[in-house]
Amino acid sequence: MTGSKTGSKLVPSLFCLIGLISPIFGGDIESAMVDAPRITLTTTGIQGDAINVGLIGTKDELIGAMVAAKWQPADPITFKSSVKLVKSVLLHRPDETAPVSNLYLWKRKEDLAFEQEVGKDASRRHHVRFWESTKQINGRPLWLGAATFDTKVGFSHKTGLPTHHIDANIDADRDKLLSDLAAAKWLLSSEGIDFQLKHNGRNGGGDPYHTDGKLLLGILDGR
């Protein structure tokens, strides 16, 4: 089975088992993914978003690809950025780089986060967090990511604190992200692998989600 090429549509037929991954990804991917964490954690240790994206490339390549695909880097969480986010939601003002809450993988918060605002404020947005793994595929870093869509601002079902609620279909944002990278001509190849052991769960805010269990793995153009 071969991976999809740049600009081609991502379709379910690309999905495969780890043992059937296209040779373009190299044999290293099998050992890299076998013990990879599948679920992020919140600051309090509650299970967060599911890992559903993997990208191969350097940090600069990842940033360049995401910006070219019209995903904006999220601001760090500070008092100023938090106030800006609140004003965006309450006053319906744009905030294309609003901060995202921290989630943890390998006991550290995300290395990079990106988003696409939908509508007139930051209450609805596509967003993804990335962690750089210690693994390399064909000499290039492997990044694992969790992509979801924020539908509105409300209160956590678990803590009662303000939070974004997510759309239950997390596969949709996973697929959109890879499609956006392909449209921006930054994706050399992509392939789906069986990854999640459970196909239903709840994130750190208590929102339910469902998935087909696939992780979309892509190779970035090394420019």
- pLDDT above 90 for 110: yes
**Mean pLDDT computed over 109-123:** 82
Residues comprising the chain, all counted = 223
Q: In this structure, are residues 120 and 92 in contact, taking their beta carbons and an 8 Å threshold?
A: yes
Which carries the bigger pLDDT value, residue 187 or residue 26?
187
Q: What is the band of 104 on the pLDDT scale with cuts at 50, 70, 90?
A: very high
Contacts of 180 (CB under 8 A, 6+ apart): 69, 70, 71
* Residue 57, both tokens: 């490339």
Q: What is the pTM of this model?
A: 0.78
CB distance 53 to 174 below 8 Å: yes
- The whole-number pLDDT of residue 215 equals 96
Q: Contact at 8 Å (CB) between 152 and 123?
A: yes
Name which of 106-115, 157-166, 185-194 the model is least confident about: 157-166
Q: Mean of the per-residue pLDDT values for the chain?
A: 79
Q: Residue 201 in 3-state DSSP?
A: strand
Provide CB contacts within 8 A for 83, sequence distance 6+.
none
76 has a pLDDT exceeding 90: no
- Helix (H), strand (E) counts: the chain: 4, 16
What CA–CA distance (Å, rounded) separates 82 from 110? 18
Whole-number pLDDT of residue 170? 97
